[in-house]
Chain A
Amino acid sequence: MIEARGLSKRFQDKKRGEIHAVENVSFTCQPGKIYGLLGANGAGKTTTLRMLATILEPTDGTAIVSGYDVVEQPEKVRANVGFLSTATALYPRLTAQEMVEYFGRLNGLDEATLKKRVDDIFARLDMNSFRERRCDKLSTGMKQKTSIARTLVHDPPVMIFDEPTTGLDVMTARTIIGFIADCRGLGKTVIFSTHIMSEVERLCDHIGIIHGGKLLEEGTLSELRAKHNEHNLEEIIVKVVGPLLANAEA
């Protein structure tokens, strides 16, 4: 389970001064559900997810991830989280197997458990044909599978995906989408940021619309449709964000 409690993040920028990347964001993601965080580029999605994964520390507020506080117990949070984004690359000079094993060891798995876990994952994701191949020699699809295996090796109860399909071809994106759906099936808590509406409609149980660092709207897809009297999700986002954009331009 993820419970964000007034998460805020401010950065100092030499030219622009203090930037409020995320302001007082609170929401809850339940196990076995997929929470979709929607927003334009720069809306605060990545910063929010990085705070949940403890890669960034909140300026204010906190979040409880799988029972651990992101501010007080960041290492325990990370041990319970699988984090995947297009920015999480692989080590080019390690083989696919070494890459996954490295993260298994960092997660404290003993060698026997690690071997079993790696064998299971490689078989499940059909990765045995390239397990000994170096990551810099893998195709994009193989790399994504290796990244997935890397996030799964310690069997985390929480999965965080930050725009995981951005820049990927259709087939590779399908692999990722299928994997996210599988995570829900396994009872994991999943939070997922994207600006691809079809993915949201297909996957998400709960949706949060974020803009300017603030969570503007939250609910299930049907609740949002009913509230805004609009079927198309893109139109719903325009209705939610549009007035703010107009004010900002004015």
Chain B
Amino acid sequence: MNLHAIGVVYRKELTEWLRDRRTLISTVLVPLLAFPILISGMISLSTVLIGSAKKEVPKIMILHGEDSPAVVAALSANKDLQVVPYAGNWKDQISDKQIRAAVDIPDGFQASLDKGAPETIQIDYYEGEIKSEFGAEHVEKSLKAYRDDLVKKRLEAKNLPDSLIAPFDIKQQNVAPPEKVGGASIGSMIGYMVIILSMTGAIYPAIDLTAGEKERGTMETILSSPVSRLDLVLGKFLLVFSASLTTAILSVTSMGLSFAYMGHALSSSADTSGAGIHMNLGLTSVVAVFLMALPLSVLFSAVLMTVALFAKTYKEAQSYLTPMTFIVVIPAVASILPGVELTPKLALIPILNTSLVCKEIITGTYHWNSIAVIFASTCVYAAAAIFIAVKTFQRESVLFRS
């Protein structure tokens, strides 16, 4: 092995790589921009939709209720609701978004209340239509307030305290550390993304440096130089590996910043109940995930190069590598399924093991035995893949396939 020759090959491949517009788009621009665009688009859209839905005073219709003026008056007095006159086609009006909801007050509601007999008021709305759902929510809130007020008056009439109806309160309190809270919600996704992106980042250069070189006719040129096949393949491999890491790092950075922005945007809004995203990931955890993904990235780079080398053209190589994406995606997806936990057997399955251990690392759990087994086994797989890549590069039947 000649380190100088490997360095010369690597520098040349890097120069060409950086000058390739397709590379810049696929390796740098897409991972950098995809998440911010996606996230900010989602936020903007939801902000606009939710904002306009919240601002609107929903039009509602009261069905029946002629014999129950008190509840009708309570609904009509609510400034957050606009009660429109009854019409027979109220269902169509909800579907056509002319009104947001209808309140069906059963006949004799008031009388039943006075007798203490149970009754049900039905709210009709358009499920999945955000403004209708908000309208129904407003109606429900208004009715609950009316009900609470009624209960309070009844208790007062009998000189009973309010606590009779609610003898104790219930409160939920999180005791898990912040990084575990973050990990539970997004941790598994980080490991998954690092794995998937470190592979997708390697695909294009792996093809370009093997099948692409054959297609352009430069393979014979380089093989006529005194560089050994070992040094040549290692120089090329290092470039594919660099591309793989670059894509993964840029993507995760971009994703992290996007989620942080989203978390901030959602927490600054009035209602955070729907956020469900926490970004309390520690830098140490993210760095640890990358360290675990390193041998996997080596494995991907070597395997992709080896497979692409069999192809004569860029297109042929793409048709070989596309199915490989599924081989990587399936175990990576399996790892983020609820209930799939790291076991000694799973620790030996490449991709799945790294994805599972990343899930644990992000939640701040470090099982050093598992980490050692996974790191070592992936290193062995990676070394085997490099060995096969070098051997394949020495096969004339592959290099000069006709």
Q: Which residues of A contact B (CB under 8 A)?
A: 11-12, 53, 55-57, 75-76, 78-79, 81, 83, 85, 87-94, 98, 102-103, 105-108, 134, 150
Contact = CB atoms under 8 A, between A and B. Distances in A.
A91 B226 contact: no
B221 A89 contact: yes
B284 interface: no
The secondary-structure label for the interface of chain B is helix
A89 B225 contact: no
Given A87-B220, A92-B216, A56 B226 contact: no
B223 A55 contact: yes
A120 B106 CA distance: 102
B400 interface: yes
B225 A103 contact: yes
Contact residue range for chain B? 20 to 34
B226 A107 contact: yes
B400 A56 contact: yes
Cβ-closest 8 pairs across A and B? A89-B217, A83-B224, A79-B226, A78-B226, A88-B221, A93-B16, A93-B19, A106-B225
B8 A89 contact: no
A88 B396 CA distance: 16
A89 B396 contact: no
A47 to B, nearest CB: 10
B130 to A, nearest CB: 51
B2 to A, nearest CB: 9
Nearest to B7: A105
Interface of B: 4-5, 8-9, 12, 15-16, 19-20, 216-218, 220-221, 223-228, 396-397, 400
Contacts of A81: 224
B239 to A, nearest CB: 13
A161 to B, nearest CB: 12
B225 A55 contact: no
B396 A56 contact: yes
The winner among B217, B218, B226 for most chain A CB atoms within 10 A is: B226
15 contacts: A12-B397, A55-B224, A78-B225, A83-B224, A85-B220, A87-B220, A88-B221, A89-B221, A90-B221, A92-B216, A94-B12, A106-B9, A106-B226, A106-B227, A134-B19
A85 B396 CA distance: 18
A53 B218 CA distance: 15
B197 to A, nearest CB: 25
Contacts of B16: 91, 93-94
